[in-house]
Each structure stands twice: as C-alpha cells, then as structure tokens.
Structure 1
Amino acid sequence: MHGNLKAGCFNHIIQLYLRKTYSKYLRVGTSSSLTGAQAARKVLDENGLYNVTVEEVRGHLSDHYDPRAKAVRLSSDNYHGTSIASISVALHEVGHNLQDRYNYAPLRFRHALVPVANIGSNFSFILIFLGVILSSANLLLLGIVAMAAAVLFQVVTLPVEFNASSRALDIMVGSGLIRNDKEHGARKVLNAAALTYVAATVVALAELLRFVPMFTGMQNDED
C-alpha cells in the first residue's frame, strides 16, 4: 500500500510538471510562425503522406494519432497555436504517423497487444475481487495475469512515445520550424509529455505488485 501511494504521488508530481512546462512554452513563439496544424500538414506532405488528415478535437492535451482513420488529431490550443508547445505536440503525433508508415516494431507490437490489454483492463479487478472474496488463489492469479497484460501494454508504450518525441525534435530542428535556441524548450515539452507515460507505468506496476504477496499468502494458506 505504501509503495502504491508513492507511485501515485510520483504520478501527480509528473502531471503538475507537464502542465507547468506546457503552459510556459505555450506562450513562447517559434521562428516559423506556423500553427500546430500547419506544421503537421507541412511535415506530412513532405513525407508524401497526403492521405493523412489533420483534425481539431475537443479537450485539453487530447492530442493523438488514430492509425485506423489515418488522422492526426490536435486539441484546439495546439491546432491553432503557433507556440513551441503547440508545434512540439503536433509533431509528436506526426511522429506516430511516421512510425506507422515505416512499420516501427514497438508500435506494431503495441497494436498487437491492444485486444489482450483491453481484456486485462476490463476483467483484472473483477477476477481479483472474486479471488479475494472467495479466497480462491486461482482466481486471484488469473486477475494478476490479466493485469500484467495491461501493464505490459504500458511498458511497450514507453519506447513508442520516446521515439515519437525524438522524431519530432529532429524534424523541428532539421526543417527549420524552430531555431537552435528554441530547441531546449521543445525538448522540455516533449520530455515532460513522455514522462507522463513513465509515471502511468510506475503506478500500474505498483498496483500489480500489490497483489502478488496477497496471492502468495493465499496459496500458502491453501497448502
């Protein structure tokens, strides 16, 4: 329980750091003066990805790439914004599209894990709850395995997110969307965003490990 609280606290700190960093660089402009949507469209076209759409979506930092619809979706601040933060987030999502196009192995593996991870997320706590209520080590173990599948998905997500950020930074600097003196700010935004996935993985892993001693103790009681 203590470890789980520490993980939750770590996650909260990272979320605060992301909001602070994003807000700071949302007020810092770029040399290109392009909006996030225009920058995304420019890079997509330069890579021959004319079929990929750039769309505005509701929500704060709700930006994502939809591989099924082949769409880069940007929240309003980043779709219309001309800041370092807006360009960084927009090109991070374009980075996912480039991963998709060039069959980046961790992304393919993550896509393959989606059905298993969904099952794990939906049924793990039900199985764990039943295992505890019925004092069944087997049900508890099934729940732990299901939860482990969801945690594995989050672990595989880490290299996917860091790689997309790395691609975004290389593109921004290489194409002149930001000057070298603005690279530090873009790196901070991208790193802060990536750290949120690290924090989420730490929380999920701590939650998983919380049930392992419970299973061991239950199994010993059955013996």
Structure 2
Amino acid sequence: MFEDPLFWLFVGPGLLLGLYAQARIKSNVAKYSQVPTPSGITGAEVARRLLDAKGLQDIRIEPVEGELSDHYDPRNKVLRLSQKVFYTPSIAAAGIAAHEAGHAVQDAKDYFPMEARTFVVPLVQLASKIAPWLFVAGLVLGMNWLTWTGVILFGSSFLFALITLPVEFNASARAKELLARQGILGPDGIEQVDQVLDAAAWTYVSAAVSAVGVWLFYIFMLFSRGGGASARR
C-alpha cells in the first residue's frame, strides 16, 4: 500500500496539512508562552475560574505529563492540563486551558456534537481494528460484500474527524467568550489566544482531510479491481 503512488496522492494532502498545522501550533504556542497574562494567572487558575463561573465546581483539574496533552475527560469529569499549561501564567496557557474548559461546558450543556463524538469513540476504535482484516479477507476470498464492509468501516474514521470539527471550533469560541466575559484577558489578549487556538484548529482539519483521503483510496482500489462492478451485480 505505502509503495503505491496513488496512496500518497490521496493521503498526501492531509499529511502535508498536518505537518503545516503542527509547525504552526508549536510556533504559536512557543511564542505566546513567553507573553504573560495581565494578572499573572496560570492555566490551572484560568480553568478553575471559568468552570466555577459556570457552576462546574465538581469538575477536577489535574496536571498531566506530556506536551500539548491537554484534554477534558467527560466520563470522569476531569480536566487535565499539561504541566506547562497548568503551572504557567501565559497567554498560550490561558487559551489552551480555556479551550478545555469550553469542552467541560459543552458536556454540562449536553452539546449534541460532543455527545455524538463520545458515543462513537468506542465504535470507531473497534472499526479501525477490524476494517483492514475485512478488506483484505474480502479481496483474498473474492467476497465483495466483505470487502465493502471493510471500506464502510474505514469511513468511520472520517465520520469521527467530521464530528470533531464543530466540537473543537465551538470549544474555542466558548473559550474566547469566557475569557473576555470574566475579564481575564482584554481585546489584545483575546486576539493572541485566537492565534493559538486557530493554529490548533488546523490539526483537526488535517485529520479530517487525511481520513477522507484514506477512505477514498480504498474505494478507488476496490473499484480498480472490479469490486465495484461485481458488487452491483
């Protein structure tokens, strides 16, 4: 598969976009990690303040190992921040912490796209494991229905990436609104946070492009082998 030029034709755009997104987010996070918050408030303090303002005092905030490993765990109601975000009083830390707090607010308000993403996670994980086996088995055994089942399951990754887009964009919008409403950052600070979060958004866009590229590659490969025509008969 990796030796096939067509694979890179389909998947390459997403990979290149992903490299661009990673370079951009690292650059912007590094830049605005050097810019302090006006009041010297750390990422953990930002998250706590925003959550409390929304009546979410029951949500814990914990430091976690790793770089850019920040995430909200909706099952355990825990907001986990990387140590650089948790302990650092910077614009980048405030933006990232506010973004994760935005996910907690989504959870509290039963934001449908987030609920849908949480629901499909185990299904996507299972589908990604069995899809390649079904696809290959279908080709070897000449069973087009089995091959197409594998192709359809490959599409679950694209579905997950697609659902992720509104979840992440909405969390960023909530983050900027909360930061402004609570008076943590002024207009200049919000604009700087926007650059950090906008860079992060490109990683989710690239994931969606990559997922659809892989899916289209398998569909193309199946039709090129005559599977599409056979399946219609």
Q: Common fold, TM-score beyond 0.5?
A: yes
Q: How far, CA to CA, are the matches of 2:33 and 2:157 in structure 1?
A: 33
Stretch deviating more after TM superposition (77-86 or 110-119): 110-119
Letter in 2 for 1:166: A
Q: How far, CA to CA, are the matches of 1:183 and 1:95 in structure 2?
A: 15
> Aligned runs of 1:76-115 on 2, under 5 Å?
76-115=83-122
Paired residues of 1:107 and 1:160 also in contact (CA < 8 A): yes
Match of 2:173 in 1: 166
Letter in 1 for 2:200: A
Deviation at 1:75, TM superposition (A): 0.2
Match of 1:129 in 2: 136
Match of 1:18 in 2: 25
> Aligned runs of 1:129-208 on 2, under 5 Å?
129-208=136-215
**Gap change, CA 1:31 and 1:127, over 3 Å in 2:** same
Deviation at 1:119, TM superposition (A): 1.7
Deviation at 1:221, TM superposition (A): 6.8
Q: How far, CA to CA, are the matches of 2:53 and 2:111 in structure 1?
A: 19
Paired residues of 1:30 and 1:179 also in contact (CA < 8 A): no
Q: How far, CA to CA, are the matches of 2:57 and 2:206 in structure 1?
A: 35
Corresponding residue pairs, total = 223
- Provide the identity percentage: 35
- With normalisation by structure 2, the TM-score equals 0.91
- With normalisation by structure 1, the TM-score equals 0.94
Deviation at 1:35, TM superposition (A): 0.4
Letter in 2 for 1:28: V
Q: Deviations over 1:95-140 (max 9, x none)?
A: 0000000111111111222232122222112222323444442222
Deviation at 1:51, TM superposition (A): 0.8
Stretch deviating more after TM superposition (22-31 or 71-80): 22-31
Q: CA RMSD in A?
A: 1.5
Match of residue 76, structure 2, among 53, 63, 69? 69
Runs of 4+ in 1 over 6 A off after TM superposition: none
Stretch deviating more after TM superposition (106-115 or 55-64): 106-115
Letter in 2 for 1:110: R
Match of 1:219 in 2: 227
1:60 aligns with 2:60: no
Structure 2: 5+ residue runs without aligned partners?
A: 1-6
Q: How far, CA to CA, are the matches of 1:32 and 1:131 in structure 2?
A: 61
Structure 1: 5+ residue runs without aligned partners?
A: none
Q: How far, CA to CA, are the matches of 1:190 and 1:212 in structure 2?
A: 34
Q: How far, CA to CA, are the matches of 1:35 and 1:115 in structure 2?
A: 34
Deviation at 1:172, TM superposition (A): 0.9
Deviation at 1:45, TM superposition (A): 1.3
